[in-house]
Amino acid sequence: RHLPTTLTFFPTTDPHYERKYYFPRELERSLRFDMNGDDVIVFLHIQKTGGTTFGRHLVQNVRLEVPCDCRPGQKKCTCYRPNRRETWLFSRFSTGWSCGLHADWTELTSCVPGVLDRRDPAALRAPRKFYYITLLRDPVSRYLSEWRHVQRGATWKTSLHMCDGRTPTPEELPPCYEGTDWSGCTLQEFMDCPYNLANNRQVRMLADLSLVGCYNLSFVPEGRRAQLLLDSAKKNLRGMAFFGLTEFQRKTQYLFERTFNLKFIRPFMQYNSTRAGGVEVDADTVRRIEELNDLDVQLYDYARDLFQQRYQYKRQLERREQRLRSREERLLHRAQEAPREEAEEPGRVPTEDYMSHIIEKW
């Protein structure tokens, strides 16, 4: 069905939102996720983006023909396809950290196929199609949330950081602390560590690290490395089947449901009183965090624009399709009523051609 070319797809209903980027091919996409086939959703979980909540939604809150089997006391759920005992979801709460704790794009893309082949050997007969998804968050809020998490004793030191077949050396990735963890660290100490993986975490976890020599900082000059990472992260984000934003829970739910043709049972809730929200920082500190996360700030600005345009595009198409359906129903109703009225007139029986003329005219 052809839509009128005069249709404005991006009505700026939010006065604070203005388009910055042009996405010629990233809005109108045809994606047909086949749960009964060989399609797999792969969730790339970036720390402190609300991924734990979203991951639970995937295994506990999706309306499925065969719901995931989540048993009390067990960290993982079994998410089988309706037609066979084979998983359709690769995530923390379904397959566990099978490619390492908080595996990034570089790790997942090289690891996931092999892991699933070992889990479901019978599936070797058909090639799988992987649909990558992720969540992004405002960089300052995410950074503060990670600091508070580390301050309470979190380390993620069991993360592998695999790249080009090996893990980084201690010289390539020195620790920020001595001892078992960094609990009790101040925000200043957290910001002062030049090796802190919290800096630009979202860009690093979405980029293809092979392009810059993985964690070898001498592989390419610093400025060139930064640009390569940012461009790669943007490219991979555009190529993902779906991404959501922590700050827009309802829109994230809306886009996921319409991307995968799946429905959630309960609506997503927007919790703004997060741990990061409770941290009081001055303007100078915010600027310092933004400087440390300059690549993440640029990526998030880009992602938010793409997210808003995708949402508005979907909403506008839905409204247009609804109006077209209503119009067709009215026309059909009138066409059905017309021959009845004509037949009631004495000495006049409408022919098939006459009927067609009436319908065409209307």
Span 8-30, pLDDT tens digits: 433 344 656 678 898 877 787 77
pTM reported for the whole predicted model = 0.86
* 117 vs 197: CA distance, rounded Å: 31
The arithmetic mean of pLDDT across residues 147-173, rounded, is: 97
What pLDDT, in 10s, does the model give residues 306-333? Answer: 999 999 999 999 998 889 888 888 888 8
Q: Is 102 a catalytic residue?
A: yes
Please report where in the chains the tokens 């082949």 appear, as a residue.
117
| pLDDT for position 337 | 81
What pLDDT, in 10s, does the model give residues 221-255? Answer: 999 999 999 999 999 999 999 999 999 999 999 99
φ, ψ for residue 324 (rounded to 5)?
-65, -40
More confident residue, 333 or 290: 290
More confident residue, 5 or 40: 40
Please report where in the chains the tokens 């909540």 appear, as a residue.
53
* 182 vs 175: CA distance, rounded Å: 10
| Residue 114, token pair as written in the block | 């092999």
Q: Kindly indicate the confidence band of residue 345, based on its pLDDT and cuts at 50, 70 and 90.
A: low
Cβ pair 58, 89 in contact under 8 A: yes
Is the pLDDT confidence value at 127 over 70?
A: yes
| pLDDT for position 5 | 39
> 337: Cβ–Cβ under 8 A, 6 or more apart, which residues?
none
In the chain, the amino acid numbered 67 is P
Residue burial 111-124, b: 16+ Cβ < 10 Å; e: rest: bbeeebeeebeebe
| pLDDT for position 126 | 78
* 289 vs 283: CA distance, rounded Å: 10
In the chain, the amino acid numbered 96 is G
Please report where in the chains the tokens 């997060």 appear, as a residue.
274
* 3 vs 1: CA distance, rounded Å: 6
Q: Kindly indicate the confidence band of residue 111, based on its pLDDT and cuts at 50, 70 and 90.
A: very high
* 189 vs 64: CA distance, rounded Å: 47
The arithmetic mean of pLDDT across residues 33-56, rounded, is: 97
Is the pLDDT confidence value at 98 over 90?
A: yes
Of 45, 57, 102, 161, which residue is the catalytic one?
A: 102
Q: Kindly indicate the confidence band of residue 342, based on its pLDDT and cuts at 50, 70 and 90.
A: low
Angle between helices 352-361 and 294-344 (to 10 degrees): 140
- Degrees to nearest 5, angle at CA 199 with 193 and 205: 135
| Residue 310, token pair as written in the block | 């995708």
Is the pLDDT confidence value at 168 over 80?
A: yes
| pLDDT for position 7 | 40
More confident residue, 185 or 29: 185
What domains can be seen in the chain, in order of their start residue? Answer: 40-327 (3.40.50)
Mean pLDDT of the chain: 89
* 110 vs 104: CA distance, rounded Å: 10
* 189 vs 184: CA distance, rounded Å: 10
* 229 vs 209: CA distance, rounded Å: 7
* 229 vs 266: CA distance, rounded Å: 37
What pLDDT, in 10s, does the model give residues 249-288? Answer: 999 999 999 999 999 999 999 876 555 657 889 999 999 9
Q: Kindly indicate the confidence band of residue 220, based on its pLDDT and cuts at 50, 70 and 90.
A: very high
More confident residue, 276 or 143: 143
